[in-house]
Every structure is written in C-alpha cells, then in structure tokens.
Chain A
Amino acid sequence: MALLNAHAEQPGTPPMRKRNSRYGQGLDGPLLIIILLVPSLILLIGVIFYPVFNTILLSFQSLNLAEPFLNHWVGLENYSKVLTNPLFDFWHSVGFSALFSISSTIIAFVIGFAFALLLNQRLHFQLLWRGLALVPWVIPYVVVAYLFFYMFNSQYGIINNVLNSINLFGWRPFPQPLAWFGGTGNLAIIATIFAAIWNKFPFFALMLLAGLQTVQQDLLDAATVDGAGAWGRFWHVTVPSLRGIIVITTTLQFIWGLNEFAIIWAMTNGGPGNATNNIVVNIYRTGFLNESISYAATMGVLWLLLLLVFTYFYIRIMEGKAETR
C-alpha cells in the first residue's frame, strides 16, 4: 500500500457518471473536500501551528510571569544565554533525553521482540498470555512511576530487599541497601529507565506480534529446505519482512521517549540535583516553576529544531518505504 493516496481519484470526473443516470449526485468536488477538512484544519491551526508560532515570538522577548509588564523584545539574547550558560542545563538535559530515550527504546525493543516471538508460538492459554503481557502498557504512566518509586524505596523497597538477599557462595554483591534516589543520581537514572522499559515493551510486543503473523510461512519453509536453522530463518526471513514495522515502532518510541515527562517527573522531579533533568522537565521547571516563560520558549524552539532535523530523516524513510511498494 502506498503511503500517499493509494486509491485517490480526481474529484468531479468519476468514470461512470455519464453512462448511468442514477449515479450519485449531491455534494462533491472542492466544496466537499473543504467541508470535510475544515474541523481538522481549524484544530491543527488553533492548537498546534498558532501556538508554535507564538512560542517562537516569545523566545525573542523577556516574558516572566512574575513581572509580565516588563516584557520587551530582546532579539537573540535568550538564545545566546541558553546555549552558553550552564545554569540553564540545556545541553545536559538534551543529552539526558537522548540517553534515556535510546537506552529505554533499545532494551524495550529487544524484550518486546522476545515477547512477540514467544507469543507467536503455540502455547497453552495463548490468549491469556497475550492479554496479560499487554497490561504494563495500559497502566497509566503516573501509576507506573509511583509503583517503581515504591519498589525502589531504599528502606523498605522490594528491589533493595531482593538485591540484598543475593548470596552466591558467600559473595554478596549488594550488602548495603542502595540509595536509588540520592547520591550522584546514577542510580536514579537507572531507576527511571527501568520503569520506562517496563511501560514500553508491550507496545513493541503488540506491534511485532501482529507483524509476525503476516510473515509468510512458505518463505520460512523455503528457508528451512535451503538449510537455514532457526537463527538463519529469523535473521534472513523474519527480520527483513518486519523491517517496516521495526523502523516505525522504534522511531515512534524514540521520539516519545525524548519527550517523556510523566515517569521522570513523578519519580524524581528531575533530581537528585539535575541528574534526571531531561529537556521536557527542564523546560517545565524553567517556564512554570521559575515562571521564566521566554527562556522556556527559547529552549522549546531549540528542541523543536533538533527534533525537526530528526523528523526530516523519519519522513525520508517513510517515503522511501512508500516508493518501494
């Protein structure tokens, strides 16, 4: 199926109109197109394009909600401050966003793929397994965050308890309880990524499982006859036929992960210090807690530009896929 307009036709010139007098009349052509598109266009302009335009304007002003009347145009001053002053934590927060998103997407993808492969086998209680495996995905993010926050609690959390009880022939790797949300913050980074993976992997499992069911059995059989083992079949038949779905799901999750807010905010508030301060948490803190709307807008515009570069490549991939079909 092509990406764009698989069955599109020219409005107003249906092939059979002249031949049959009963051919449907009524609203058609440009007017119909406009009427059907108008609700979406109004919403898209009102809640997406106008706000983005307005944010760009705000990034050249000095709006602070604490003193809105002192607002004036400042040119590129905000940009030079945000990009160079380490107090804004801009580059670090971009870096953490990337780290958080890449690691959670890759690990969730591997686990989700494993789940999809397992659930694609003939198992007892298959439907039950499938249903249960998807539960983490439909649990609200805030609940996920609190659940893991509780499980990672340094005093009575179950994770510290299990780690503490590991005893390999007298060697105990974690004799002391770990302070997950204190210290340098490295453990907090792991904790948030761990929660995000748990939340993400069912999405991959669901999509890849649906893809696996379209992999043609005759291709797999042919590969078997040609001498391919299980691994060869997986690598040379299954993965290539899932290429499209793999590209789409990982890209979507990567972008969503870059903009993650709920899990990080509810678990750590960006802390300890700035350790889990991703770009969205950073913008939220700057704009709404410190009320420096214009600095937040500046970071938002820079972040938008970075993502647009990425989106450009994403669309190139999608279009390339469309052309090969």
Chain B
Amino acid sequence: MSHDISKPISHDNLATSAPVPDTMLDQEPTIAGNAPTSTRRPVRRRMRWTRVLLYIVLLILLIYAFFPTFWLLSTSIKPQFEAFQNPPTWWPHNPTLYSYQILPADQSGFVTYFKNSLIVGVFTTLLTLLAATPAGYVLSRFRFRGARALLLVILATQMFPYVTILISLYTLFRQLGMLNTYPALILSFTTFSLPFSIWMIKGFCDTLPIELEDAARVDGLSRLGVLRVIVLPIIIPGVVAVGFFAFLNSWNELLFALTLTSSPNMRTIPPGFVLTYIGEFQDRWPDMMAASVVVALPIVVMFTLFQKQLVSGLTAGAVKG
C-alpha cells in the first residue's frame, strides 16, 4: 500500500471544496470512492490521536469522579490511628475490617437508624406510588375542567421550598403529639416525592398508544380493568423509576428528619449520622466511613439492578416531553 500522504484530504475539506447536492446525502461512498484509498490514512491516524486524547480526558474525569469513592472505601478499612496519619496513606498499610465488625453491635445506634430509614423509606415509596399512579393516569387520559390548572399547580409545588412547608408541619405535628413517630416522617416525606411522581407517571402514560386501551375496551374491559390489565404492566418500568426516586429522597432526607425527630430511637440515617458522629465520635473516621459504605450499599445495589428501568423511566418524561 502506498504511503503517499502529500495530499491529505479529510472528509471535511473534501466536502467544502465540492458542495454536495442534497440528493446525494445518502450516497457518500461514491464521493469517497473518487479519492485514492491512501488519502484516508491520515484521517485514520488523526482519529487514533483523538481517541488517545479522549481516553486522557476520560481518565481525568474518572479520577475526579472516583477518587472520593475510593477514599471512602480505603479509609473504612484503615485502623483508627492510620486515618490520622500525615501524610495520609493512599492504600491502607494495616487493612482491617474492625470498623465493619462493630456495626451490628449497635453501639452508636447504627442498626436503629438503618431500620428506621428502611421502614420510613418503604412506606413513603408505597404511599407515593399508591397515590401518584392513579392520579398520573387520570391526568394523562381524561380531559376535565381544571385538569390543566391542577397539572400546573402540581408542577409549581415541585419548586416550593420545603423548609417553608416544614415550619408548619413541625408546629402541626407538635400540636398533634406526632413528633418522633413514623407516620409524621412518612407523611412529610411524601411532600417532595408526590408532585414529581405524578408528573413522571403522567409522562409514561402519555407515551402509550391510546389504541391499545380502545381495543381492550371494545373487548369488554372496564376503565379500571384497562388500567390494571393493560396500562399498569406497560408502565411498570416507569413506576419502578418513580419508586426508586421516592426511596432515594427519603433515604437522603436530612432537614425534615432532623426537625421531626428528637429521640435517638426514631432517627433515620442522615440525622443519626449528623448527631452521632459529629458529636460523640467526631474523630472516629474509619467507623464513620464504614457506616457510610453500608448506608450507600442498598442504593448502589438498587441502582445497579434497576439501571435500565431508571434510565428509560427518567427519560420518557424528560427527553421526549
């Protein structure tokens, strides 16, 4: 093969020098076929360099993205003294699982926090889905007076500052003697998951072809039957995604949980961490990191399991609509 690169012709300047009529857009091979094969080489070489550059940029981004995660894991298996060493050790010199082994003993209340977070998260998710699924379906399929206004109001509530709502929820739950109870946490957590969920589920229903439901109704299904037999199975990925977000929000929530609970027995993970590790064990970094890993694990596992549904769920509303 010839190594003649004296006349490098890239696709780009080829196209500029000879504008291609619109009708030929799909016939690019003919144009390329006119040029000698050897001229394609520099293009390919440039591609290779772009690729190298690409991997370098990717590497820098990956260091930024993953170094903190690595540091979290690395610190969690360091013994207490090593976490304070200066300069820090990049890889633990004396790795130990001690910080993980003491977690089940519940000395710092970790098991309690975990259990509370799980209970509150699961019930918040269920309540949100039970309310949002029928509402999202109705807002997608029925036209009635006030539907548009209702949708816009729900959209607007997504923008409400939750702290404004919290002030009243706190005084309200205080009057009702509901501070430090699961129902107070669950109800208040639906504040932020419900509007978002209704909108997302409406988005999924909008993408379904109406003909399917018409056909089912011709075959004798009632409205509710259509919802149960036809619509629900199709929008399950969306419902899973919505449920994940409701759970994630509840799992992460600090402000409401910190305010509505004061008893250590009722704290969820975020306020438990703030009040326990910052106060009593400020200096026990490996213990805190080990607890953090265990806290992050359920979410990471759930995310990995549902990744496909989550991405398609998220984008059904946002990308197309």
Chain A interface residues (CB < 8 Å from chain B): 1-11, 14, 16, 20, 22-28, 30, 32-33, 35-37, 39-41, 43-44, 46-48, 50-55, 58, 63, 111, 114-115, 118, 121, 123, 129, 131-136, 138-144, 146-148, 150-151, 155-158, 161, 165, 198, 201-202, 206-207, 210-211, 214, 221-222, 224-229, 244-245, 248-249, 255, 258-259, 261-262, 265-266, 279-280, 283-284, 287-288, 293, 296-297, 300-301, 303-304, 307-308, 310-311, 314-315, 318, 322
Q: What are 9 A-B residue pairs whose CB atoms fall within 8 Å in the complex?
A: A7-B140, A132-B62, A135-B66, A136-B68, A141-B252, A144-B68, A222-B25, A245-B319, A266-B274
Which among B157, B217, B226 has the highest number of chain A CB atoms within 10 Å?
B217
Q: Which 7 A-B pairs have the closest CB atoms?
A: A26-B222, A300-B164, A51-B168, A36-B134, A40-B135, A54-B168, A8-B143
Known: A28-B223, A40-B194, A118-B57. A304 touches B164 (CB 8 A): yes
Known: A33-B138, A121-B54. A249 touches B318 (CB 8 A): yes
On whether the beta carbons of A24 and B226 are closer than 8 Å, the reply is: yes
- Whether the Cβ atoms of A300 and B167 lie closer than 8 Å is yes
Give the residue among A229, A300, A314 with the most B Cβ atoms within 10 A: A300
Is B311 close to A, CB under 8 A?
Answer: yes
Residue from A8, A36, A222 in contact with B135 in the complex, judged by beta carbons closer than 8 Å: A36
In the complex the two chains form, is B160's CB within 8 Å of A214's CB? no
User: Once the chains are docked, how many angstroms separate the CA of A147 from the CA of B171?
Assistant: 33
For A36, the chain B residues whose CB sits under 8 A away are 134-135, 137-138
Known contacts A6-B140, A150-B75, A265-B254, A20 near B218 by CB under 8 Å: yes
User: Which residues of B in the span 292-321 have a Cβ within 8 Å of any Cβ on A?
Assistant: 292, 295-296, 299-300, 303-304, 307, 311, 314-315, 318-321
Contacts of A225 in B (CB 8 A): 15, 20, 25, 28
Give the chain A neighbours of B141 by CB distance below 8 A. 7-9
Inter-chain contact A111/B132, CB cutoff 8 Å:
no
Closest partner residue, chain B, to A97 (CB atom): B161
Whether, in the assembled complex, B48 has its beta carbon less than 8 Å from a beta carbon of chain A, the answer is no
Contact B295 A143 (CB under 8 A): yes
Interface size on B, residues (CB 8 A): 121
Complex interface bits, B154-188 against A, C-beta within 8 A gives 1, otherwise 0? 11111111111111111110000000000000011
- Do residues B168 and A58 form an inter-chain contact, with CB atoms below 8 A? yes
User: A23's contact among B208, B220, B307, by CB below 8 Å, is which?
Assistant: B220
Q: Complex Cα distance A26/B226, Å? A: 11
Question: Complex Cα distance A1/B226, Å?
Answer: 22
User: Which among B1-9, B102-110, B145-153 touches the partner chain?
Assistant: B145-153
Closest B residue by C-beta to A30 = B144
Q: Mark B197-241, 1 if CB is under 8 A from A, else 0.
A: 010000000111110001011111111111000000000000000
Instruction: Specify the chain B residue showing the minimal Cβ separation from A198.
Output: B68
Q: Is the interface of A mostly helix, strand, loop or mixed?
A: helix
Interchain CA distance A200-B284 in the complex, whole Å: 27
Residue ranges of B at the interface with A (Cβ–Cβ < 8 Å): 11-13, 15-16, 19-20, 25, 28, 54, 57-58, 61-62, 64-66, 68-69, 71-72, 75, 83-88, 127, 130-132, 134-135, 137-144, 147-148, 151-152, 154-172, 187-188, 190-191, 194-195, 198, 206-210, 214, 216-226, 248, 251-255, 258-259, 269-270, 273-274, 277-278, 285, 288-289, 292, 295-296, 299-300, 303-304, 307, 311, 314-315, 318-321
Residues of chain B with a CB closer than 8 A to A151's CB: 68, 71
Closest to A251 in B: B159
A55 touches B222 (CB 8 A): no
For B75, B141, B289, which residue has the most chain A Cβ atoms within 10 angstroms? B141
Inside 8 A of A227's CB, which chain B residues have their CB?
A: 12-13, 15-16, 19
Q: How far is the CA of A311 from the CA of B130 in the complex (A)?
A: 27
Query: A136-B68, A156-B84 in contact; A55/B214 too (CB < 8 A)?
Result: no
Judging by beta carbons under 8 Å apart, are B161 and A259 in contact?
Answer: yes
Do B138 and A37 touch across chains, with their CB atoms under 8 A apart? yes
Pick the contact of B88 from A33, A136, A156, A249 — CB < 8 Å?
Answer: A156
Contact check, A147 vs B68: say whether CB atoms are below 8 A apart. yes
Q: Given A48-B165, A118-B58, A156-B85: A39 and B135 within 8 A (CB)?
A: yes
Q: Does A39 lie within 8 Å of B134, measured CB to CB? A: yes
If A114-B57, A118-B61, A304-B160 touch, does A37 touch B155 (CB 8 Å cutoff)? no
A314 CB contacts on chain B under 8 angstroms: 159
Residues from chain B with Cβ under 8 Å of A41 in the complex: 135
- Are B161 and A304 in contact, with the CB atoms below 8 A? yes
A24 to B224 alpha-carbon distance, docked (Å): 10
Picked from A1, A10, A140, A221, the residue with its CB within 8 Å of the CB of B143 is A10
Smallest Cβ-Cβ distance to B251: which chain A residue = A140
B61/A115 in contact, CB under 8 A: yes
- Chain A hits for B131, CB < 8 A: 39-40, 43
B152–A315 CB distance below 8 A: yes
Which chain B residue has the least Cβ–Cβ distance from A134? B303
Q: Within the complex, which residue of A23, A33, A43, A296 is in contact with B167, where a contact is CB–CB below 8 Å?
A: A296
Partner of A262, one of B25, B222, B224, B270: B270
B211: nearest chain-A partner, CB-CB: A7
A148 to B67, CA, bound (A): 11
**Residues on B with beta carbons closer than 8 Å to the beta carbon of A214:** 319-320
Most chain B beta carbons < 10 A, residue from A55, A198, A214 = A55
Contact call A303/B161, Cβ cutoff below 8 A: yes
- Chain A residues with Cβ below 8 Å from B223 are 24, 26-28, 32
Interface pair B296/A139, CB less than 8 Å apart: yes
CB pair A24–B225 under 8 Å, yes or no, is yes
Measured in the bound complex, the distance between the Cα atoms of B170 and A113 in whole Å is 40
Chain B nearest CB from A202 CB (Å) reads: 8
Inter-chain contacts of B171 with A (CB < 8 A) = 54, 58, 63, 293
